[in-house]
Chain A
């Protein structure tokens, strides 16, 4: 299991896309350029999103957490994208319903059944409306990076 890669370069602002596919392709391309994920990552994550939607009707700001199989990941990372205009994603656990998404946390995980503490902290954060609102309004990437590092406690990596 690798250490998590996390810096300003994987935090994307004003991401434009007409569809979730376009949004996922743009986020994925950035990760491919940085060699964090493999070529097949984008196709895999789009396919997975269509089979198992990840839009979450969280309070205040809806969040999507696209992810796919570990085999496409070179180095674990979480890419954050704030969309310029909300884009419809399917709602997790519902066969047809969609929800307009403004904030995407793309999870590139390199090990199954792991990263429990990180994931729990992420879900805790999704239940905090004020933090979500802050994330879509802040325009300083370093501030966002610092906030997420403290909220998700990356320092504790390596447990499990």
Chain B
């Protein structure tokens, strides 16, 4: 299976994407999936439009992209965290 490129984005690329990034990293390791994780600011998404397979973000994204977008605010609040993890895992295993 081709290694998936996953963008992890938040407004500043400082706080929330750091936490989300490490959660996905752990999840991929647990499930023995290789991913190319890239932590960016929302404003930088454009540079990856042609290569990314998935966008995981804590911010609200208004634009349409050719890849699915998963909101991961639950990684910060704990509410619904397992559902979000499942959703991401399904995308990674596609």
Residues of A within 8 A of B (CB): 48, 51-53, 56-59, 65, 67-70, 92-95, 107, 109, 112-116, 119-120, 123, 126-127
Contacts and interface: CB of A to CB of B under 8 A. Distances in A.
A93 B60 contact: yes
A157 to B, nearest CB: 15
Given A56-B73, A94-B60, A120-B19, 17 more contacts: A48-B12, A52-B59, A53-B60, A57-B77, A58-B78, A59-B77, A68-B12, A107-B14, A112-B12, A113-B39, A114-B18, A116-B18, A119-B19, A120-B22, A123-B76, A123-B78, A127-B77
Nearest to B39: A113
Q: Which of A70, A112, A115, A127 has the most CB of B within 10 A?
A: A112
B10 A52 contact: yes
A93 B13 contact: no
Contacts of A65: 15-16
Interface of B: 10-19, 21-22, 39, 42, 57-60, 62, 71, 73, 75-79
Contacts of A127: 77-78
Contact of A93 (B12, B18, B57): B57
A60 B15 CA distance: 22
Given A113-B39, A120-B22, A56 B15 contact: no
A113 B15 contact: no
A138 to B, nearest CB: 22
A36 to B, nearest CB: 16
A56 B76 contact: yes
Contacts of B71: 93
